[in-house]
Amino acid sequence: MPDFIDPDIVKKIENLRQELHRHNNRYYVMDAPEISDAEYDRMMRQLIELETQYPELSSPDSPSMRVGALPLKKFDSVKHTVRMLSLDNAFSDSDILNFDRRAKKELMTEGEILYTVEPKMDGVAVELVYENGKLVIGSTRGDGETGEVITSNVKTIRTVPILLQQHGNKEKAPARLEVRGEVVICREGFKRLNEEMSSNDLPLFANPRNAAAGSLRQLDPRITARRPLEIFIYGTGDVTGMNINSHWDLLCRLKYFGFRINPHIKQKITIEGVIEYFRELEKMRYELPYDIDGMVIKVDSIESQVQLGTTARSPRWAIACKFKAIQETTRVLKIEVQVGRTGTLTPVAHLETVNIGGVNVNRATLHNGDEISRKDIRIGDTVLVQRAGDVIPEIVKAIDTVRTGREKIFTMPANCPFCNTPVVQDEGEASLRCTNDACPAIIKAQIEHFASKKAFNVDGLGEKLINQLVDKGYLSSFADIFYLDKEKIESLDNMGSKSAENLLESIEKSKNISFSRFLYALGIRHVGEHIAEILASKYGYLENLYDAKYDDLKDIKGIGPVLAKSLADFFICEKNRKRVDQILKCGVNIYPQEDNITPTLDGKIFVLTGTLETMTRSEAIQKIKKLGGKVSESVSKKIDFVLAGHSPGSKIEKARALGVYIIDEESFKKIAGA
């Protein structure tokens, strides 16, 4: 740093930065420029010249960062403070009405619930974290818990504020503000981008969503800077220092701070209005400059959102209504039968590649033999295929009017195509099953599930390696994974010494696992991620679940008789217990469930006053903290809830005066699921 920098230079740089941030917002976010493009460019050039001349005055918050920082070697990862959930889907009016009915039941109200509805942008979810008004981290959604840090890349997006807009001293930016939104590329920009890719002899992007995802994951931000990315903000993660009562108010406040909010959001409408708007939006979808694949319905009141809470995967206060699938015709080349981890035989149609709504499709599931007969789908048929959102493509029907007579009728095999064991059909089930425990297809699929991201998360142990390891006889059970050595791994295709070491390291790392992931990994029929979490928090330890009886299990909320039977059968079976013991003998450490609780009260601050009836004060505090909430001693505007028991003190008066929500013990128990 030189001894002296002319304070006028410092001031000039500061002024230019401030003005450029403001004009950027007026132009890109508000669509109301005050100066010409040429004037903007002139100011930007002047700033870059000054920053080059005085590198000691450079700043990560400068608008010049939009041209792209230096390339990275790899992306760091970051744990989201609040998990980035996804949304459940509604495909019909009755799904929407059911969602409304469930919400009313849960909120115990017969009155209308007000919803805010938003176009569901078809892009890439990102999180932007602001500390005291400055953008500090931009990240991808990743697996919902941990994302990749792409700060330099998001800074290149003109509609991402690098500094929040402050309006004098009227309202200061919150101390911490995590916003979430969708990064998209407009259809027009996408067309131009692909033209450019084509003229540079580079592979084309299949659709705007892939183009947005690919552009965000560039290690060189200068490449990202040249891509026509835009962002729309639709919600928040962790927020400190901002009190909001409704989703619509939240969006307005975010807009005030300089974020771009979709102009087609409709606020506070009843469920009839929601259905009506869904139709309108569906008609409008191709007139919008960017792709949308549906509409998101959100309960507007934040208090009701908290009360409704979330499941492991998605909020109960929001749902995505998908537009009707896009359909195309193509030809069935052959039908192949796959065998999954539970032994179920699934026929899959291999199709002549067809582009449906921007995605190349060459496979479609046919579900089971009954479905093939019902739809009368034959090999060689011309068929109508549809893709609904991200769901696996499926065949709607065969177009029998164009049959030539050379089409072949397909019948499901009587024996497993992988081990030749005769297949069985369980009572009341449409699917056929291979019951051979030693069937290589079942073992491969089970191990793939066991090692997958949501289970043991053995990085690098995917389908191709597992196939080879099973075929060579190195893997025939879950526990065998932990006995793999360097020599065995190195004997596989394309596996050198370094990759073998990496895989061994991932295997070692995977040995520390939460109870729910462990349960999920076992691949017990009907036990998905969410059920595994319910079981893990109910039973705490594997030993407890070993002894659980059908009658206890079936009464657990969310379980029911089919699942209870599947679980009881699994743990009663000596062979299964042995398999579990073998895994534990390999040094696998199952840690208790606490870490896996869904933080439904994340960031919410409570004040307790008065005496509670059915729990002690410290039990209530523990519950709040366990669900991610905080407890404070004094009431202020920052407080989300005052939990009032009998004979509350003066805190309740203060809460009333400040308009802070006051809840009784009953409502608290609902919010906290106690």
Residue (390 or 400) nearer to ligand IVH, CB? 390
Least distance from ligand IVH to the Cβ atom of residue 199, Å: 31
Can residue 234 be called a binding residue for ligand IVH (CB under 6 A)?
A: yes
Can residue 416 be called a binding residue for ligand IVH (CB under 6 A)?
A: no
Least distance from ligand IVH to the Cβ atom of residue 530, Å: 15
Is 146 within 8 Å of 454 (Cβ atoms)? no
3-state SS, residue 323: coil
Residue selected from 17, 65, 68, 118 as contacting ligand IVH according to rule CB under 6 A: 118
Counting beta carbons within 10 angstroms of the beta carbon of residue 311, is it exposed (0 to 12), middle (13 to 18) or buried (19 or more)? Answer: middle
Buried b (16+ CB within 10 A) or exposed e, 385-399: bbbbbeeebbbeebe
Q: Dig out the tokens for 180 from the structure.
A: 């979430």
- Measured CA angle at 143 (ends 140, 146), to 5 deg: 65
Least distance from ligand IVH to the Cβ atom of residue 408, Å: 40
Can residue 259 be called a binding residue for ligand IVH (CB under 6 A)?
A: no
Least distance from ligand IVH to the Cβ atom of residue 276, Å: 18
Q: How far is CA 113 from the centre of its chain?
A: 26
Residue selected from 44, 87, 157, 567 as contacting ligand IVH according to rule CB under 6 A: 87
Contact stretch for ligand IVH (CB under 6 A) within 13-21, 36-44, 113-121, 472-480: 113-121
DSSP 244: -
Query: 434 to each of 345, 640, 662, how far by Cα in Å?
Result: 7, 54, 57
Least distance from ligand IVH to the Cβ atom of residue 123, Å: 7
Can residue 209 be called a binding residue for ligand IVH (CB under 6 A)?
A: no
Q: How far is CA 609 from the centre of its chain?
A: 37
Is 159 within 8 Å of 98 (Cβ atoms)? no
For residues 211 and 190, what is the distance between their CA atoms, to the nearest angstrom? 7
DSSP 420: -
Is 344 within 8 Å of 446 (Cβ atoms)? no
Q: What is the strand order of the sheet 229-240 is part of? A: 134-140, 124-131, 176-185, 229-240
Place of tokens 């892939």: 210
Residue (209 or 331) nearer to ligand IVH, CB? 209
Can residue 277 be called a binding residue for ligand IVH (CB under 6 A)?
A: no
For residues 601 and 342, what is the distance between their CA atoms, to the nearest angstrom? 37
Residue (320 or 644) nearer to ligand IVH, CB? 320
Among 104, 120, 538, 565, the active-site one is 120
Q: By CB under 6 A, what part of segment 157-196 binds ligand IVH? A: 182
Q: Which of 672, 674, 642, 670 is nearest to 105 (CA)?
A: 670
* Known catalytic residue at 651: no
Is 117 within 8 Å of 296 (Cβ atoms)? yes
Residue (87 or 455) nearer to ligand IVH, CB? 87
Instruction: Give the list of residues 6+ apart from residue 523 with CB closer than 8 angstroms, or none.
Output: 341, 342, 446, 449, 450
Least distance from ligand IVH to the Cβ atom of residue 292, Å: 8
Using DSSP bridges, classify how beta strands 630-632 and 605-609 pair: parallel, antiparallel or unpaired.
parallel
Residue (89 or 467) nearer to ligand IVH, CB? 89
Least distance from ligand IVH to the Cβ atom of residue 302, Å: 13
Contact stretch for ligand IVH (CB under 6 A) within 115-123, 199-207, 529-537, 616-624: 115-123
Contact stretch for ligand IVH (CB under 6 A) within 79-87, 203-211, 463-471, 604-612: 79-87
Residue (96 or 320) nearer to ligand IVH, CB? 320
For residues 504 and 484, what is the distance between their CA atoms, to the nearest angstrom? 8
- Site residue total, ligand IVH (CB under 6 A): 15
Can residue 18 be called a binding residue for ligand IVH (CB under 6 A)?
A: no
For residues 434 and 414, what is the distance between their CA atoms, to the nearest angstrom? 10
Can residue 115 be called a binding residue for ligand IVH (CB under 6 A)?
A: no
Q: Report the residue closest to ligand IVH, judged by CB.
A: 125
Residue selected from 208, 235, 358, 645 as contacting ligand IVH according to rule CB under 6 A: 235
Residue selected from 107, 231, 296, 500 as contacting ligand IVH according to rule CB under 6 A: 296
Q: Which of 390, 322, 381, 397 is nearest to 356 (CA)?
A: 390
Least distance from ligand IVH to the Cβ atom of residue 247, Å: 10
Residue (124 or 620) nearer to ligand IVH, CB? 124
Q: What is the set of active-site residues?
A: 120
Under the rule (CB under 6 A), what is the footprint of ligand IVH?
85-87, 118, 120-121, 125, 141, 182, 234-235, 296, 315, 318, 320
